[in-house]
Amino acid sequence: MKVLSLKQPFAELILQGKKTIELRRWNTKFRGEFLIHASKNPHEKSMKKFGFKELPTGKIIGKANLIDVKKYINNQEFENDKNKHLADEGWGEYGFILKDVKRIKPIEAKGKLGFWEF
């Protein structure tokens, strides 16, 4: 099954349903179910921003369905979706639209870049 690694707290925010679009600098043709991996190293600034002290890392912690990819062409469209991706433009111009997110029992795993097979 395909897996996507995300830094914490973004993996957790997706599992909580607060983040429904994952930003990336690259596009994908992949659509369907994938596993969510929490990268080994969290994004410390965002951990503080969103009020988290400690979250699971180095583990597959959930699954989701990638139903579409949105390319942000202009700043206004990006700003309109801010409550869905919770980020600034530095994170990327492609929005992976997620549905059917579920938390799973954590599985230890080493992450990789892009979608990878587990």
Count Cβ atoms below 10 Å from residue 102 Cβ, excluding itself.
11
The predicted pLDDT at position 97 comes to 98
User: Does residue 88 carry a pLDDT above 80?
Assistant: no
- Mean pLDDT (whole number) for 63-90: 90
Q: Is the pLDDT of residue 89 over 80?
A: no
pLDDT class of 73 with cuts at 50, 70, 90: confident
Query: Which CATH code fits 2-103?
Result: 2.30.130.30
Inform me whether the pLDDT recorded for 30 exceeds 90: yes
Q: d(Cα 53, Cα 71) in Å, to the nearest integer?
A: 32
DSSP one-letter string for 65-85: EEEEEEE--SHHHHHHTHHHH
Q: Is the pLDDT of residue 79 over 80?
A: yes
Between CA 5 and CA 107 the distance in angstroms is 13
Mean pLDDT in residue range 16-33? 96
